[in-house]
Chain A
């Protein structure tokens, strides 16, 4: 069965530090890849997505992610975080031809200290 792993459950860092969250998935077929963010008390929101093409994708709020097919990875990065980036981040995978079903990783709680 397909699975998605996020390596860090909790990350604490200071403002202006760089952030990198790891995501690996297990599925041999073609996939669409996503990062979602859930700010405290808010809805799950899409940060960025990869369907095909350039493996380096840019999303909202200065986030970017790199798809490395050979490593089945889709890591999220932000060069300089702000206090407002405190949130829970979820990596998700959609198998092509599986409708809209998303398989999520376990999430990473990120706390940015001012």
Chain B
């Protein structure tokens, strides 16, 4: 069974540009979460999508947005990039099982974004 895939794996952008990152969850997984990992702030939750709806959101500015498609694939977008947005962006997918308030998440390899 293929794992979570993220594209691209590496990305270099300049300040002010925008970027879109993609995540394909494990087949059958309907929930996708995004995290930002930096040396200074560690791993921080960005948002979670389930059935094309944002279910939860972390404390990030509105420049960070996401969406989920009907096939559960997800994208996140960062507009007006800042130097501080340089980070590893991780995607995690999980099953949804009715009656369970938490479902184990499986992480992808991440997209390393460098903002110059």
Q: Which residues of A contact B (CB under 8 A)?
A: 32, 36, 43-46, 49, 51, 90, 92, 94, 96-107
Enumerate 19 A-B pairs (CB-CB under 8 Å) in ascending A order: A36-B107, A43-B3, A43-B4, A43-B108, A44-B90, A44-B92, A49-B104, A96-B102, A99-B48, A99-B56, A100-B33, A100-B92, A100-B103, A101-B45, A102-B33, A102-B45, A104-B35, A106-B42, A107-B42
Q: Which residues of B contact A (CB under 8 A)?
A: 3-4, 31, 33, 35, 42-45, 48, 50, 55-56, 58, 90, 92, 94, 101-105, 107-110
Q: Known contacts A99-B56, A100-B33; decide if A32 and B102 are in contact (CB<8 Å).
A: yes
Q: Are B56 and A98 interface neighbours, CB within 8 A?
A: yes
Q: Known contacts A99-B55, A100-B31, A100-B33; decide if A105 and B42 are in contact (CB<8 Å).
A: yes
**Measured between C-beta atoms, what is the minimum distance from B47 to chain A in Å?**
9
Alpha-carbon distance A105/B43, docked complex (angstroms): 8
CB neighbours (8 Å) of B102 from chain A are 32, 51, 94, 96, 99-100
Alpha-carbon distance A97/B99, docked complex (angstroms): 11
**Measured between C-beta atoms, what is the minimum distance from B8 to chain A in Å?**
16
Alpha-carbon distance A98/B3, docked complex (angstroms): 24
**Measured between C-beta atoms, what is the minimum distance from B23 to chain A in Å?**
13
Q: Are A46 and B104 interface neighbours, CB within 8 A?
A: yes
Specify which of A49, A104, A105 lies most central, judged by the most chain B CB atoms within 10 Å of its CB: A104
Q: Known contacts A44-B107, A49-B104; decide if A100 and B42 are in contact (CB<8 Å).
A: no
